[in-house]
Amino acid sequence: MGDISEHFNRWEFECKCNSCGRDAVDVELLMALEDLRKHFNQPVYILSANRCTKHNIFVGGAKHSMHLKSKASDVVVTDIRPEIVYEYLIAKYPDKYGIGRYDSFVHLDVRQKKTRWRG
């Protein structure tokens, strides 16, 4: 059991710089991640969620990245290919959110404007 939801712990959302302490959790993002976990019935691993400006620059993130606003996560679902996760998310949220597919993970953010991409 997680400490902020059924399947997630706050530490999973921490900035990976290991010094800024950013660990905010957007409730709408958390609900979307819980849905993803329940749909596939597989663990969802958060590779990156919160980012401070310094860490965002270090990883080559977009200047106005949703990671900077605690509204984004890059995820891997155990035993599910990123393209399958991507297709599920764009079907589930046809008119909103930022959803991007990369070779090894999927980006999900809870902006209200629909944005799609493949990295």
Give the pLDDT means over successive 10-residue stretches in the chain (119 positions). 90 95 96 98 98 97 96 98 98 98 98 94
CATH of segment(s) 10-118: 3.30.1380.10
Find where tokens 């949703």 sit.
66
The alpha carbon dihedral of 60, 112, 107, 29 has a sign of: positive
Rounded CA gap, 76 and 101, in Å? 11
Q: What is the pLDDT of residues 65-80, one digit of tens each?
A: 999 999 999 999 999 9
| Domain edges within the chain | 10-118
Q: What predicted TM-score, i.e. pTM, was given to this entire model?
A: 0.95
